[in-house]
Structure 1
Amino acid sequence: MEKVNLEDKFKQFNDYWSPKIVGDLGKYQIKLAKFHDQFVWYHHNNEDEFFLIIKGSVTIHLKENNQEKQYELKEGEFFIVPKGVEHMPVANGVAEVLLFEPATTLNTGNVKDEKTVSNLKRI
């Protein structure tokens, strides 16, 4: 058991879109990531995804029933993307984000590209 200071953890890395594991809760992991600009469109077949904005702001773009929706998230707000829903986070500048998701969750979901991180670092 140990206390975790999010500000200290965010200071330990500068790369974008590469989540870092900061805790485990059963079969779930608590991850931190820095977002910058636009990510990729993707979905998770089996996992829901929780985004909590710690610093900055992020727009979550969703494609659902052939319509695109956008949700603007500010500091202290969170959003849960249900499994199977195609989405794309876009940071307005740089954002610091806490992710809470099953340990099996791949950052790019069904997409494999240069932003895919298969082996997450623990900090």
Structure 2
Amino acid sequence: MSSEPIPLSKALASFDALWSPRIVTRVNDYDVRIAKVEGEHIWHVHDDTDEFFLVLDGELHISLREPDGERTVLLPEGAVFTVPRGTEHKPYAPSGAAILMFEPTGTPTVGDRHDEIPEHVDSTTGHELST
């Protein structure tokens, strides 16, 4: 990890892959990840951890399956949202977005229960950011 400030715009400009997070830094046992996203991800759940999202650019939608039914939250640029642990959810960005996520190191982006990793996901735990 860098011992210098990391401009997020420069970090985002360093890659093009969608749904493929880059780890920009670590805080204790947590990764701070950025990703470019467009289209749909998959329905998934994190059994033991919440998942924090900050929209840096664009707009992110997160569909949630909750005990009282399904709903979708809309996160415009600058908005934050935390998906509670154990909540099945599916992020999607119809027009594309850049996001920042904060989650325990090693947390797979496809959740804890999955049979198949989608073709658009090339790493389930993020790549180190190249500088």
Please give the range of the TM-score, normalised by the shorter of the 2 chains.
over 0.9
TM-score normalised over the length of structure 2: 0.89
Secondary structure at the counterpart of residue 57 of structure 1: strand
AA aligned to 1:82 is P
Once the two structures are TM-superposed, the CA of residue 2 in structure 1 deviates from its matched residue by 1.1
Secondary structure at the counterpart of residue 46 of structure 2: coil
Once the two structures are TM-superposed, the CA of residue 119 in structure 1 deviates from its matched residue by 5.2
Alignment of 1:10-89 (within 5 A): 10-65=12-67, 67-89=69-91
Q: How many pairs align?
A: 123
Once the two structures are TM-superposed, the CA of residue 120 in structure 1 deviates from its matched residue by 2.6
Structure 2 segments unaligned to the other structure (5+ residues): none
1:104 correspondence with 2:110: no
Return closer, same or farther for 1:37/1:24 CA change in 2, 3 Å cut-off: same
Does structure 2 conserve the Cα–Cα contact (< 8 Å) formed by 1:52 and 1:97? yes
Q: 1:121 is matched with which residue: 113, 116, 127?
A: 127
RMSD over equivalenced CA pairs, Å: 1.3
TM-score normalised over the length of structure 1: 0.94
Structure 1 segments unaligned to the other structure (5+ residues): none
Distance, in Å, in 1 between the alignment partners of 2:56 and 2:38 is: 14
AA aligned to 2:110 is T
AA aligned to 2:60 is V
Distance, in Å, in 2 between the alignment partners of 1:85 and 1:118 is: 18
- Identity level (%): 33
Runs of 4+ in structure 1 over 3 Å off: none
Return closer, same or farther for 1:106/1:119 CA change in 2, 3 Å cut-off: closer
